Amino acid sequence: NAGVTQTPKFQVLKTGQSMTLQCAQDMNHEYMSWYRQDPGMGLRLIHYSVGAGITDQGEVPNGYNVSRSTTEDFPLRLLSAAPSQTSVYFCASSRGTGASNEQFFGPGTRLTVL
């Protein structure tokens, strides 16, 4: 199993550009989520999905869109990049949301918006 994979590893954007961060998992997990990690802030939930075709907002959703057309993939779209979106983005997946359902994290995408 590859687990959770994310592409690209690094990205530099100019303000106003759009892009899609890719996330895929091969564990047949129903629950997938996107977090951003900023210094001194821990990880904060952006969007999540409980299955194909079902998505919802997390704590900091503004400026981001998601879709879930398959169980495996959960891309995150930045509509019009802003410097405040400079961060490290992590995708995570789990079988469910119970206490024993471990969330597996991908290796992250480091995004810089100039």
Partner 1 sequence: QKEVEQDPGPLSVPEGAIVSLNCTYSNSAFQYFMWYRQYSRKGPELLMYTYSSGNKEDGRFTAQVDKSSKYISLFIRDSQPSDSATYLCAMRIPNAGGTSYGKLTFGQGTILTVHP
By beta-carbon proximity to partner 1, the closer residue of 11 and 103 is 103
The DSSP call for residue 42 is E
Distance between CA atoms of residues 51 and 49, nearest Å: 6
Per-residue x/- mask for partner 1, residues 4 to 43, rule CB under 8 A? x--------------------------x-x------xxxx
Pick the closest to residue 81 from 107, 108, 62, 55 (CA basis): 62
The reply on whether position 55 binds partner 1 by CB under 8 A is no
Residues at the interface with partner 1 (CB under 8 A): 4, 31, 33, 40-45, 48, 50, 56-59, 90, 92, 94, 97-100, 102-108
